[in-house]
């Protein structure tokens, strides 16, 4: 009886603790929402400094409501919209109350192309406004230093460091693990898709020569862009920069000063004193910093008459396509064929929309869903100009939905191309039969009724049949690109075959038209439509406050659990999620083989 009561009391205590935790989370959430929505527009003091940390995930499109869940397991769940950041830096350049920017960097959670767009805007801020940017960090990663190098002055803590040693691409291969548990991943790619390597992570133990060739070209291209950007602002020859990295000459903070990558070693209080001096602020008072979130809620007098604001009647629609591509509905983190098609169609049918910009940031996904979206882009192009802006990645299915546009922009470090297709069919026979003792049996009405049965290996005629499906879809993909890019199918095939390219190389081989970011694409769309005074409108319609709140809570809690439970193995979990995502997509797939992150 005593043991029974002990379990009862333990259960009651656990239930009570859960209730208390939920109550605390609810109160915190209400407080966060109240803070975000109850405030009036931010009042910016004269002599303020825009304080940029950029330590949250940077996504193409910012949330409609701009609230942050910054507590407990939800810390870091909110993100920074690249569109908002670019707009606010433009606004700060015009704002006489803002005397400069303090770029205080820790980590940068953004892709290479997004980082390029931010860096370009920082340089534009300096040029247009004449206001200084001061960068400071305890430790610069290669990613954060890339942004910092756009500043007028760069400082690091005396005992800090600057990581400058080049790039390395590393892939994870699971064939050995699958062999141990008795799973055979059957990968069927286009007959001529030499570089289509998505499935190789599950079917090989190391890179194939073709994959090593394309991945080597990618990271060398990104590194060359990286060195070129730093060389231009720090006045250090690219060859010299490469030598510094190759020999690991920066091993302590003072070394970064010696070799010209930073301007001095200083503690934060010393940097703040220097900011006051550079920006003409009162040395006896604290600096009036304004964060990005605060500045977002402010306005600049006279902005209502500036081209591109809400005063204009004509519109350029910016349709955001971010995430993997699948059939059905999507959201801000995934592309659903129904949702994105409806958004493009809505922009096409709106008479006040004179041009459309499709912002693509996608590694691809379902071939069928990609084709459905392509059709809507093709229809839209028949009524008004359509310009594509490629983000960090617009590859495979991401390129498929872009190729019909009138004009394509990509950042130099955008990863694009990957014109190829594949199918994945796992075989669990050994796992089920030999390792788990599970057998399967069944009856069927027709010979191919058990096609794609995962409890056995494919029969030769089944593999031949699936190969036919894959090759046919590749032919369709190739023809779509040829028509959109005004190339022959042979020309597309010569740059296709599943190979990925940087934006710079993609322009050279004709897969994109111009190098530039989202703002360049919007300007080009407006010019094609003959617009001088216009405003932008984002599509699809963003979710309401409650949906955004629940999404942020879910994303934050999931990230916290992954970090706490899996730690450094979270990358492994991500790979399994990618395989599951690929396996769950019905039909042929057009998906990029890997991700590249610059740390």
| Enzyme catalytic residues | 196, 396
Q: What three-state secondary structure class fits 501?
A: strand
Q: Please work out, in degrees rounded to the nearest 5, the angle formed at the alpha carbon of residue 117 by the alpha carbons of 111 and 122.
A: 125
Residues 6+ apart with CB under 8 A from 579: 174, 185, 201, 202, 424
Residues 6+ apart with CB under 8 A from 490: none
Residue with tokens 């910012």: 62
**Which is it for strands 335-336 and 288-291: parallel, antiparallel or unpaired?**
unpaired
Q: What three-state secondary structure class fits 427?
A: strand
- Angstrom distance (rounded) from CA 581 to CA 4: 45
Length of the chain (residues): 599
Both tokens assigned to 561: 């659990």
Q: Please work out, in degrees rounded to the nearest 5, the angle formed at the alpha carbon of residue 372 by the alpha carbons of 369 and 378.
A: 140
Both tokens assigned to 36: 């975000």
- Angstrom distance (rounded) from CA 148 to CA 132: 12
Q: What three-state secondary structure class fits 168?
A: coil
- Angstrom distance (rounded) from CA 340 to CA 441: 42
Residues 6+ apart with CB under 8 A from 342: 540
Q: Where are the beta strands (DSSP E) in 53-148?
A: 57-59, 79-81, 98-104, 133-140
- Angstrom distance (rounded) from CA 151 to CA 101: 9
Residues 6+ apart with CB under 8 A from 466: 188, 423, 425, 458
Q: Please work out, in degrees rounded to the nearest 5, the angle formed at the alpha carbon of residue 352 by the alpha carbons of 346 and 357.
A: 60
Write down the H helix ranges in 382-459.
397-400, 429-430
Residue 93 has phi, psi (to 5 degrees) of: -65, -35
For residue 442, the Cα-to-chain-centroid distance in whole angstroms is 45
Question: Are the beta carbons of 516 and 357 closer than 8 angstroms?
Answer: no
Both tokens assigned to 573: 């979990």
- Angstrom distance (rounded) from CA 270 to CA 582: 52
Both tokens assigned to 393: 């990645």
Q: What is the sign, positive or negative, of the torsion defined by CA atoms of 552, 556, 562, 563?
A: positive
């Amino acid at each position: 009886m005593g043991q029974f009561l002990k379990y009862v009391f333990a259960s009651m205590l656990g239930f009570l603790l859960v209730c208390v935790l939920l109550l605390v989370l609810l109160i915190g959430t209400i407080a966060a929402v109240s803070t975000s929505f109850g405030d009036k527009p931010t009042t910016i003091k004269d002599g303020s400094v825009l304080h940029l940390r950029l330590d949250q995930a940077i996504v193409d499109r910012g949330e409609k409501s701009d609230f942050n869940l910054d507590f407990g397991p939800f810390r870091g769940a909110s993100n920074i919209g690249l569109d908002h950041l670019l707009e606010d830096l433009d606004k700060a350049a015009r704002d006489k109350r803002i005397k400069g920017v303090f770029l205080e960097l820790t980590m940068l959670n953004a892709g290479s192309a997004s980082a390029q767009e931010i860096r370009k805007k920082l340089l534009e801020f300096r040029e247009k406004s004449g206001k200084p940017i001061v960068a400071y960090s305890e430790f610069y990663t290669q990613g954060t230093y890339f942004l910092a190098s756009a500043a007028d002055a760069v400082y690091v803590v005396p005992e800090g460091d600057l990581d400058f040693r080049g790039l390395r691409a590393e892939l994870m291969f699971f064939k050995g693990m699958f062999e141990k548990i008795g799973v055979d991943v059957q990968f069927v790619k286009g007959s001529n898709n030499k570089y289509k390597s998505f499935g190789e992570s599950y079917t090989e133990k190391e890179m194939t020569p073709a994959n090593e060739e394309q991945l080597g070209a990618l990271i060398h291209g990104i590194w060359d862009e990286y060195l070129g950007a730093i060389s231009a602002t720090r006045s250090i020859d690219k060859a010299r920069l490469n030598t510094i990295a190759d020999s690991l000459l920066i091993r302590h903070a003072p070394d970064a000063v010696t070799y010209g990558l930073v301007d001095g070693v200083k503690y934060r209080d010393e940097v703040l004193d220097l900011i006051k001096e550079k920006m003409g602020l009162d040395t006896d008072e604290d600096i009036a910093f304004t964060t990005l979130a605060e500045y977002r809620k402010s306005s600049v007098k006279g902005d209502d008459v500036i081209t591109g604001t809400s005063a204009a009647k004509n519109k350029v629609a910016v349709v955001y396509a971010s995430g993997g591509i699948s059939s059905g509905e999507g959201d801000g983190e995934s592309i659903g064929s129904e949702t994105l098609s409806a958004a493009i169609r809505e922009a096409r049918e709106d008479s006040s929309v004179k041009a459309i910009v499709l912002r693509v940031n996608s590694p691809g996904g379902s071939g069928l869903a990609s084709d459905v979206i392509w059709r809507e882009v093709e229809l839209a192009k028949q009524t008004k100009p359509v310009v594509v802006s490629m983000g960090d990645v617009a590859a495979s299915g991401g390129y498929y939905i872009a190729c019909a546009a009138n004009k394509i922009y990509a950042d130099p470090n955008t990863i694009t191309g990957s014109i190829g297709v594949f199918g994945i069919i796992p075989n669990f026979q050994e796992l089920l039969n030999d390792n788990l003792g599970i057998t399967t049996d069944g009856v069927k009405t027709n010979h191919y009724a058990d096609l794609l049965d995962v409890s056995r290996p494919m029969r030769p005629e089944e593999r031949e049949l699936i190969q036919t499906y894959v090759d046919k879809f590749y032919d369709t993909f190739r023809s779509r690109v040829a028509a959109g890019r005004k190339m022959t199918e042979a020309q597309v095939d010569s740059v296709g075959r599943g190979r990925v390219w940087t934006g710079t190389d993609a322009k050279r081989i004709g897969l994109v038209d111009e190098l530039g970011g989202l703002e360049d694409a919007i300007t080009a769309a407006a010019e094609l439509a003959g617009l001088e005074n216009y405003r932008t409108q984002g599509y699809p319609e963003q979710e309401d406050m409650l949906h955004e709140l629940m999404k942020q809570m879910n994303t934050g809690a999931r990230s916290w659990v992954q970090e706490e439970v899996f730690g450094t193995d979270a990358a492994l979990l991500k790979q399994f999620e990618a395989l599951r995502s690929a396996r769950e997509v019905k039909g042929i797939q057009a998906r990029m083989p890997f991700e590249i992150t610059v740390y």
